[in-house]
Amino acid sequence: MWHIKEEGFDINKIAHYGNKFLIGHLNLGVRGTLDEFGKAEMVACHLPFIYDQVGQGWREPVNAFNPLYTRLYQGSSSLDVFKSKIISHEQILDISAGLYTRKTLFDDEGVEVLITSKRFICASGKRRIFGVYQIETNQDISLTLKTGIDLNVWDLHGPHLEDVIKEVDGSLYVFGKTHEKGQIISTAKKVTNSHNFKASYQEDDQKMLEVYQFDAKAKEIYQFYQYAYIGVDETKAVIEAEMNDMVTLGFNQAYVDQKNIWRSMWDDADVEIVGDDFAQLALRYSIYHLLILSPRLSKNSSIPARGISGQTYKGAIFWDTEIFMLPFYLNTDLNSAKSIIKYRISGLKGAKEKAKSYGYQGAFYAWESQENGFDACTDYNVTDVFTNRPVRTYFKDKQVHISGDIVYAIKSYIDRTKDDEILMEGALELILEVARFYLSYGRYNLLLDRFEILDVLGPDEYHERVSNNAFTNKLVSMVFETVIQYEKQFKDDKNMFFYNLVKKIDFYKELSLIKDLVHKVYLKEVDKDHLIEQFDGYNRLKDISKDELLKQKLHPNEYLGGSGLAGDTKIIKQADVITMLYLFKNDYEKEIHEKNFHYYEPLTEHGSSLSSSMYALIACHIGKPEYAYPLFMKSATIDITGESKTYAGKIYIGGTHPAASGGAYMTAIYGFAGLKIGDILELEPRLPESFKKMSFKIKHLGKQYQINLTKDHYDMKEI
């Protein structure tokens, strides 16, 4: 169960398949589009973290010139999926090694031409693309192959590359300069072939092309090996050396190396399911996405909300990474886990600047974080489908829980690794500055003798500018408790680092206030029905079912939040109270989990890919894995089925959903397997009916464990 496959060509699924058959790593993502596709079909060689802004458009990552463009002609007729008769067509992604394959059998008046192309991106982290384009016919015919670099780049808010220079010097080279910072983005391509055909050069319609004209013999295989390199601020000499090394290595040997790297990654990360083949494939596909996004090769990189699939959400890092993806890396890849934490440490300056810009102190972390903690989020993140006017949203300025999410992640990392050194590498200062921000943002209510957090936006983005959101307030309480915990820890260790830092950043007053307020942070009470109100006044909102609400929509992409249809109802976008209950599950009795699950799940539209996994986890926690199973499958298959929102109003939000992938992994490990992590590891298996057995590995406190379990038995051994 290692292959994602689709048969037949469907013009309506081009965008979805581009996401579904994505390959790459955190330095380069190549969408799963066909060789002959171009800008209109959303081809992208995506460069995460290389940001650029043009005019008043959103600041977003850059897409490079496409070196994979290849088109085959029989006479003057182009063989492509739009114009030609297709006998069979399939796309395959081998997730065991990150190999994309396309096979198409064309019929041109009895002449059958089989095209098989394969490509992979070097798993070592370099921006190297290896490909082979193979041709086989059933008759002797004359063919023309045009292959090269497509300069017509798909952008959401571009064009980002200007001052373009083209060169032909043994290889094809094209250089462009980003608009904002003047970074040099280069694409180079070299082609070799199995029959030593010679090529002519052609420039056509914004393309640099090598043209091969040859007489093909029936049943003979013709292979054109494609080697491409994408550079960022690299000299031509460096690029040329990379190209020569790739050609010398060759496609076949490079693929052997590729498989070895992937085998090593899967050895730590795989989760084996016996009894449910589709769930097995879906979970492995989720893990595949987490592996291609691994920040293992960097010291302080994190993961964008849409991964490496394109420019959606400005290529920014959200809370998705800390809450939904970090748990995977804590179990399988601690270098990646540390990189995620270090990324936030490196963004502390930007978070302090953001807080200051709003008149607050401390660290207010970016909702859509780009380099150095810069917040790319705008005040208008949705376009109304009826008026075409931008809609004011409050994601940037009111989702203050982001800072607490980061502290939660740091604490989780330290609890799992005992890497206290990271506190002295900037994490402790981050925690103190987040606490300072919450002291600055919050309000002490004298009459009620409690510390409140007013005017916020919780995970449920349909209800804006609410007060005392249960999730947010719980995080604030946790941040204050964490400050006190680390003060005691450093004091017990007779380590003066904590107090020296307090002196350095002048935190004396704040530390005193935290000690006074830590038990006065207002946490939403559990009512007589064991329910927790999501925010002040939620219980007074209009009672309506999801179906009733959705019937009122006048446009399929209508935005429900803010002043939209859901704003004055109890219908919520995604798990909110339920997310709090999962993150702090030991603070609440199981009956509270159960009552809130059954109350909030019918009211949740699941308008975010983050939502289903939290409900699945709580369903497992209350002993109902059969409730959890469809929610788990929704998370695990979202990029297989393509059943997700692609527009918020008129704003394109398509792409992959790595947070859902992380949520699927979490459900499998912490939900179905029932893994409990403390000083020792424990399991409470709650396997769904279709699962007969699960096996996986876990890293914890410097050791690795092999875990095997069935519905009523498990064994765990150190390896």
What is the set of active-site residues? 461
- Give the H/E segment covering residue 93: strand 85-94
Give the span between the Cα atoms of 333 and 326, in whole angstroms.
Answer: 10
- 371 half-sphere exposure, CB direction, 13 A CA radius: 9
* Entry field: residues in the chain: 719
Residues contacting residue 248 through CB under 8 Å, at least 6 positions apart = none
Q: Which residues of 683-696 are buried (b: 16+ CB within 10 A; e: fewer)?
A: bebbbbeebebbeb
Exposure on the CB side of residue 132, measured as CA atoms within 13 A: 16
Residue 620's nearest CA partner among 666, 577, 679, 682 is 666
Q: Specify the residue for token string 């020569």.
A: 244
Q: Cα separation of 313 and 403, whole Å?
A: 19
Closest CA to 262 of 288, 285, 244, 299: 288
* Cβ count within 10 A of residue 396: 21
Query: What's the longest Cα–Cα distance across the chain?
Result: 91
Query: How buried is 50 (Cβ within 10 angstroms: 0-12 exposed, 13-18 middle, 19+ buried)?
Result: buried
In terms of phi and psi (left: phi > 0; alpha: psi -120 to 50; beta: otherwise), the region of 682 is beta
Answer yes or no: are the C-beta atoms of 599 and 629 closer than 8 Å: no
The 8-class DSSP code of residue 22 comes to -
Closest of 662, 548, 650 to residue 610, by C-alpha: 662
Beta carbons within 8 Å of 56's beta carbon, 6+ residues apart: none
Distance between CA atoms of residues 372 and 610, nearest Å: 25
Using CA atoms, how far residue 599 sits from 355, 630, 637, in Å, is 36, 18, 26
Residues 6 or more apart in contact with residue 466 via CB below 8 angstroms:
455, 456, 457, 458, 534, 535, 536, 537, 538
Residue for token pair 């992380």: 662
Q: Are 373 and 346 in contact (CB under 8 A)?
A: yes
Q: Which residues contact 678 (CB under 8 A, 6 or more apart)?
A: none
Q: Where are the beta strands (DSSP E) in 26-65?
A: 28-30, 45-52, 60-64
Degrees (nearest 5) of the Cα angle 592, 486, 435? 70
Q: Using a CB cutoff of 8 Å and minimum separation of 24, what contacts does 29-33 make?
A: 29/292, 29/307, 29/308, 29/309, 29/310, 30/68, 30/100, 30/119, 30/121, 30/129, 31/309, 31/310, 32/91, 32/93, 32/100
